[in-house]
Amino acid sequence: MIRCHICPHHCYIDKESICQQTPVFDEENTIYTTSIAVDPIEKKPLYHFIPNTDTLSIGTLGCNLKCLNCQNHTIAQPDNSILVPTRKYTPEQIVDYAIKNNMPSISWTYNEPTIHPEWIISTAKIARDHDIKTVVVTNGYSSKITLRKLVEYVDAVNVDIKAMSEDFYSDVCSASLEPVLNSVEYYYNHGVHTEVTNLLIPGYNDKTFQINKLIDYLLEISDRIPLHFTRFYPNFKMMDIDPTDPDKVVLACDLAAYKKIKYVYPGNIPPSHKINTYCKNCRHMLIKRSGGQIENHITSKGACPNCNHKVDVVL
């Protein structure tokens, strides 16, 4: 029996797959989308990659995790994927849309994009000829085969580390942690701009020792990977869980900053100075974020305007 090797589940292709798709049969020139939208790049969230620009966001269908709190479950975990409306595009059409709207990047997002690697790659090849970047917002649950294919064509990723716990991944996501960590390391070590998000769910992954474990893990890779702690809201099969206390999100950020993570940001809570980016040499404000408004003060040479120190932001 033949297996699919796109993700670590290695499903048999003649049986229903975890993702409810048959990506091994994807045609690289026919992309089935569930959503196309224009978003600020900061929404991904990517705070250190071409800031204050719009990105063309592409959603497809399916996911290789079964997260109980999935906010996009209607396209990631539909009851019947055949009934979900889709629209066909060619890679050329997607790139043309980005060109006509002066968007410097295309983001694969909303569901898990890496279950359809051929679609990302075929579009990225054309986008690169027009200096349009490729962004992947991913759960990180990819096989080594898929990572090797993707890394040449992806410019930036945000990897969602759900928790530093195999039990969490097993109980909440029907998956495992190790492949996710492997993805973070693989992307970073191959020069892909990498940011990490952690959604804090009360009673599941918000204990101080769990937050510390994530911080310590990232510090082993680099203290310059931007880290986003975000607030949970009840969703899907976790409607009985209270929203995260905003103070808990702030506390997680403060802990990461105390332990010398250079860039850490809160998400899904009222804005504060903590969502700004500051020079790590002189503390001058580099990027101000307020109510959807972005002020980028970084020089054209990628330096702090105050001390001329090189900044960790891709312009």
Write the single-letter amino acid at 237: K
- In whole angstroms, what is the distance from residue 204 CA to residue 162 CA? 10
Instruction: Quick: pLDDT tens for 241-298.
Output: 999 999 999 999 999 999 999 999 999 999 999 999 999 999 999 999 998 899 999 9
Q: What is the pLDDT of residue 39?
A: 97
Instruction: Quick: pLDDT tens for 66-123.
Output: 999 999 999 999 999 999 999 999 999 999 999 999 999 999 999 999 999 999 999 9
Report whether 27 contacts 15 (CB < 8 A): no
Q: Could you tell me how many residues make up the chain?
A: 315
Closest CA to 238 of 179, 171, 177, 175: 171
Write the single-letter amino acid at 184: V
Q: How many CB atoms lie within 10 A of CB 3?
A: 14
Instruction: Quick: pLDDT tens for 14-73.
Output: 788 999 999 888 998 999 999 999 999 999 999 999 999 999 999 999 999 999 999 999
Write the single-letter amino acid at 207: K
Instruction: Quick: pLDDT tens for 202-235.
Output: 999 999 999 999 999 999 999 999 999 999 999 9
- In whole angstroms, what is the distance from residue 233 CA to residue 242 CA? 7
**pTM for the whole structure:** 0.98
Q: What is the CA radius of gyration of the chain?
A: 19
- In whole angstroms, what is the distance from residue 315 CA to residue 311 CA? 10
Report whether 305 contacts 299 (CB < 8 A): yes
Report whether 109 contacts 137 (CB < 8 A): yes
**Token digits for 47?**
């705070």
Closest CA to 215 of 182, 255, 162: 255
DSSP 157: E
Mean pLDDT across 130-149: 98
